[in-house]
Structure 1
């Protein structure tokens, strides 16, 4: 199933169960937007921030040596942002107003992330399975400037000059 369709159905189910939920974003770990039910500009910016937050969370978990990163909760004066990994290449963020059962919402977020991440990973397999280079291919060799034809070399030096020291 398409990650966009999975995200839509999952978000509809979450909205029914958690009316405090205001939106969600599925972002790639590279910060690009995959799916969202937020306005486009907000979602694009939030996707980049979510990926950065995920990277920091992973790095923190690595540094303290306490196991894998599971989720993070950002508490604001008017609500929460729950971030959790979704498969190998995506991150899910849920935005909500203050909620009574935050632990329950975090658990639901991890379940949605698991399903959405599986859909995205399966969708991405076709792209990731393509081999870009052959394992036995030689590395590229750099051509020295002296061997290039004269028309390919610069005829005059660049305008940039080193500043005085």
Structure 2
């Protein structure tokens, strides 16, 4: 069974068990769509917005240093949009059609689905267009001093070109 089928079965099972879930999107942390069963919303746009929401939430969690990012919840007048991390490089976003009365129960069940789907994607689907989140405190670049470069890569003291005559 391939990763797409396993993930699709997980999303379908979640929607059967939780009738308030109107749709689900599985996307990479880079905003690329992996799988979707949203009937009326543009899934590619929601995947990109979920990645932005995750990036912001991940950064806030890292800044306040109170633990790992668990979910991002956006409550709207007619329901909620909740984004969960799924493995190293994927996100599960759920759209509820009505105000979820049992949001804690939804979180518990959706985290389990996100964990299983993420594990499948990490082991089988590897990099389905998703990149891992870099460490927020890692250096941006590593610089190499000129003295350690081979002499062939160093610039010569004299320029190799000449100014054309005027």
Instruction: Quickly name the TM-score band, shorter chain normalised.
Output: 0.7 to 0.9
Matching residue of 2:23: 23
TM-score (norm 1): 0.73
RMSD value over aligned CA atoms?
A: 2.8
Inter-partner Cα distance in structure 2 for 1:126 and 1:15: 26
In the TM superposition, what is the alpha-carbon distance from 1:82 to its structure 2 partner?
1.1
Point out the more displaced range, 8-17 or 64-73: 8-17
Matching residue of 1:157: none
Matching residue of 1:123: 124
TM-score (norm 2): 0.73
2:38 aligns to what SS in structure 1?
Answer: coil
In the TM superposition, what is the alpha-carbon distance from 1:34 to its structure 2 partner?
0.7
Inter-partner Cα distance in structure 2 for 1:33 and 1:104: 26
The answer to whether residue 19 in structure 2 is matched with residue 6 in structure 1 is no
- 1:4-153 aligned at under 5 Å gives the runs 4-39=4-39, 42-97=42-97, 98-125=99-126, 141=153
In the TM superposition, what is the alpha-carbon distance from 1:125 to its structure 2 partner?
3.8
Describe the shift of the 1:54–1:76 C-alpha distance in structure 2 as closer, same or farther (beyond 3 A). same
C-alpha contact (below 8 Å) 2:32/2:47 kept by paired residues: yes
Describe the shift of the 1:125–1:64 C-alpha distance in structure 2 as closer, same or farther (beyond 3 A). same
Inter-partner Cα distance in structure 2 for 1:30 and 1:113: 17
Once superposed, which parts of structure 1, at least 4 consecutive aligned residues long, lie more than 3 Å away? Answer: 124-127, 138-144
Counting matched residue pairs gives 138
Describe the shift of the 1:147–1:62 C-alpha distance in structure 2 as closer, same or farther (beyond 3 A). same
1:27 aligns to what SS in structure 2?
Answer: strand
The structure whose residues are more often helix, as a share, is 1
Inter-partner Cα distance in structure 1 for 2:118 and 2:32: 14
Any idea what the Cα deviations from partners look like across 1:116-147, whole Å, max 9, x if unmatched? 111111124489xxxxxxxxxx8994889x76
